[in-house]
Amino acid sequence: DAKTTQPTSMDCAEGRAANLPCNHSTISGNEYVYWYRQIHSQGPQYIIHGLKNNETNEMASLIITEDRKSSTLILPHATLRDTAVYYCIGRYSGNEKLTFGTGTRLTIIP
Amino acid sequence: DTAVSQTPKYLVTQMGNDKSIKCEQNLGHDTMYWYKQDSKKFLKIMFSYNNKELIINETVPNRFSPKSPDKAHLNLHINSLELGDSAVYFCASSQSASNTGELFFGEGSRLTVL
């Protein structure tokens, strides 16, 4: 699985869009980009994943660059409940496991 | 109705004891996992079972023994507990091992070894 690099921490004002970057320059062609988050003391929660195209669901949008070496998770209107550690993970199709890195600690500021 | 449930949520015990953590999922998934999150918050996979068969066994001491009586349950038994076993243990499930879908995690079981 590709090694991913994320900023250690970020702040975002409540109501604004939170843009969380992730570098995955060694990602291979059939490797998906997954995003999970972990709110304090809870289990990790799936957010979104994608391969090449941009993806959107009810929680977030995922923008993947054309060369697939980086991606951005966008929370369109951040709320205080979005304060969490966000993990960007590369995962091969058919790979049974998710390998978590250190993630980005996102703090939403009132 | 909780999708992935773990018991107990908290467990405090003495060094040398044996303890078990239970996990159940009601999602009809084929694959279940145990992850360990230590005091530095690193999440590491320990085991994975697919339809009751062990498919992932990371470098984990033999004192840890997972058991899957059926595909909806994956229990973790730990013998001769050590201080370093103190952590939060998360159970998870996914539709199948080869599926690219999401993992659903339980709320965690916080184990403290004194």
Buried b (16+ CB within 10 A) or exposed e, A88-108: bbbbeeebbbbbbbebbbbeb
Residue A59 forms contact with B (CB below 8 Å): no
Q: Which of B42, B43, B107 sits opposite A42 (nearest CB)?
A: B107
Average pLDDT in chain B: 92
Q: What is the pLDDT of residues A26-66, one digit of tens each?
A: 888 888 999 999 999 899 999 999 999 899 999 999 999 99
Q: Is B2 exposed, middle or buried (0-12, 13-18, 19+ CB in 10 A)?
A: exposed
Pick the closest to residue B78 from B9, B33, B17, B34 (CA basis): B17
**Is the CB of residue A10 less than 8 Å from the CB of residue A100?**
no
A79 at B interface, C-beta within 8 A: no
Radius of gyration of chain A (CA): 13
Contact A96 B107 (CB under 8 A): no
Give tens-digit pLDDT for B35-64.
Answer: 999 988 889 999 999 888 888 888 789 999
* Contact between chains at B108 and A85 (C-beta distance less than 8 A): no
Residue B100 has pLDDT above 70, yes or no: no
